Amino acid sequence: MNRLLPALAALTLTALPFAAGAQAGPTVTLDSGMIRGASKDGENVFLGVPFAAPPVGPLRWKAPQPVGHWPGVRSAEAFGPACIQFKKSDAVYAANGPTSEDCLYLNIWAPKQAGTKKLPVMLFIHGGSFVLGAGGLPIYDGAALARRGVIVVTINYRLGMLGFFAHPALTAENPDGDLGNYALMDQIASLKWVQRNIAQFGGDPKNVTIFGESAGAVAVQAMVASPEARGLFARGISESGGGVALIGAIRGGPASQEALGEAWAKGAGLDNATPEQLRAVPVEKLVAVPAGTRLMIDGRILTLNPGDAIRKGVAAPVPLIFGGNSYEASLVQFTDAFARMILGAPYDTLLAGYAKAPSKAGPAADLRTQGLFIQPTRWMAQLNAQHGHSGYAYYFTQVPASLRGTWPGTIHGGEIPYLFGTRFGDETLDDDDRRVGQLIGDYWVNFAKTGNPNGPGLPHWQKMTATDAPYLRIDAHPQTRQPTPLEQQVQDAGIAAAGRMWGPLP
Q: ∠ CA 423-426-427 to the nearest 5 degrees?
A: 75
Question: Under a CB-based contact definition with an 8 Å cutoff, are residues 12 and 90 in contact?
Answer: yes
Pair type for strands 320-325 and 391-396: parallel
From the candidates 328, 330, 389, 415, give the one annotated as an active-site residue. 328
d(CA 397, CA 410): 5
Q: What DSSP designation does 379 have?
A: H
Question: Under a CB-based contact definition with an 8 Å cutoff, are residues 300 and 227 in contact?
Answer: yes
d(CA 287, CA 131): 9
Q: What DSSP designation does 500 have?
A: H
Rg (CA), the chain: 22
Angle between the 336-343 and 347-355 helix axes, to the nearest 10 degrees?
120
- Catalytic-residue membership of 214: yes
Task: Name the H helices within 83-157.
Answer: 143-146
d(CA 205, CA 367): 41
From the candidates 77, 167, 412, 487, give the one annotated as an active-site residue. 412
- Catalytic-residue membership of 412: yes
3-state secondary structure labels for all residues of 177-229: CCCCEHHHHHHHHHHHHHHHHHHHHCEEEEEEEEEEECHHHHHHHHHHHCHHH
Q: Which residue type, as a one-letter code, is found at position 147? A: R
Pair type for strands 33-40 and 73-75: parallel
From the candidates 32, 190, 214, 330, give the one annotated as an active-site residue. 214
Question: Under a CB-based contact definition with an 8 Å cutoff, are residues 85 and 131 in contact?
Answer: yes
d(CA 135, CA 348): 41
d(CA 241, CA 218): 5
Pair type for strands 99-100 and 33-40: unpaired
Element (H, E) at 123: strand 119-125
Q: What DSSP designation does 472 have?
A: E
- Taking the CB of residue 457, how many other CB atoms lie within 10 A of it? 7
Element (H, E) at 354: helix 347-355
142, 293, 312, 380, 506 from 308: Cα distances, Å: 32, 20, 6, 10, 12
Rounded to a whole number, what is the largest CA-CA distance in the chain? 68
Q: Report the catalytic residues.
A: 214, 328, 412
